Copies of this chain bind each other. A is one copy, B any other.
């Protein structure tokens, strides 16, 4: 991280990574954006966290570095999901200007590799790092005019997230704290698939999944019947999965 300021000559100034970090805040699916320093007109201006890669740096490593710089969390589960390389993606003069200000590099074209990662939004997460500020935006009010093609990247990331959940259901638990209620889990599915789910069927389904463990712990201080807590058991999950994936 210090290395970045000191050794810009080590940057490989043709390829970048951008990270779409998704989280759940109460009932809403959110994206983390960072305020971009050195915006042309000084206005508040957000973008996806991202970085050029270093000369000898792997793509996955670069994405992990960006996430660590942004959130302070190391070794998050992340997934490269697509690259964006239209020659016109750096065509906006304001974006070009920013690249020159921020990176002191004269750049013609950047191909970016987009990564997806999921996490729990902690209230306190003022989030360490090199950015002026970071902010969670509910997906329905993301600024419409993000720099480069970041709006498009987020669109694609949302689609990819749905596919990811289908192919590996355990990742939804990345959104949740260690213990969670049936309601929380159900809401996540409802938002992801954009449809109401039947409460009874949902409970029944949870019961059949051996890796969702009911705890003898309940909500406290709620003005209605307290909800049970559950936790996700990774070991049981892997057992159940491998039993099914015979082919």
Binding site for B on A (CB under 8 A): 12, 14-15, 53, 55-59, 80, 82-83, 85-87, 108-109, 111, 113, 163, 167, 193-195, 247
Contacts and interface: CB of A to CB of B under 8 A. Distances in A.
A83 B86 contact: no
A87 B163 contact: no
B247 A194 contact: yes
Contact of A86 (B59, B163, B167): B59
State the number of copies, please.
2
B15 A111 contact: yes
Given A194-B247, A247-B193, A85 B109 contact: no
Contacts of A82: 80
Contacts of A15: 14-15, 85, 111
Nearest to A81: B82
A109 B59 contact: no
18 contacts: A12-B109, A15-B15, A15-B85, A15-B111, A55-B109, A58-B85, A58-B86, A59-B83, A59-B86, A59-B111, A80-B82, A83-B83, A85-B113, A111-B111, A163-B163, A163-B167, A193-B247, A194-B247
Given A247-B193, A247-B194, A87 B55 contact: yes
A-B CB proximity, top 3 nearest: A14-B14, A59-B85, A83-B83
A195 B245 CA distance: 12
Contacts of A195: 247
A145 to B, nearest CB: 22
B14 A85 contact: no
A59 B167 CA distance: 27
Given A163-B167, A247-B193, A247-B194, A87 B58 contact: yes
Contacts of A59: 83, 85-86, 111
A40 to B, nearest CB: 25
A190 to B, nearest CB: 11
Nearest to A15: B111
Contacts of A56: 87
Contacts of A58: 85-87
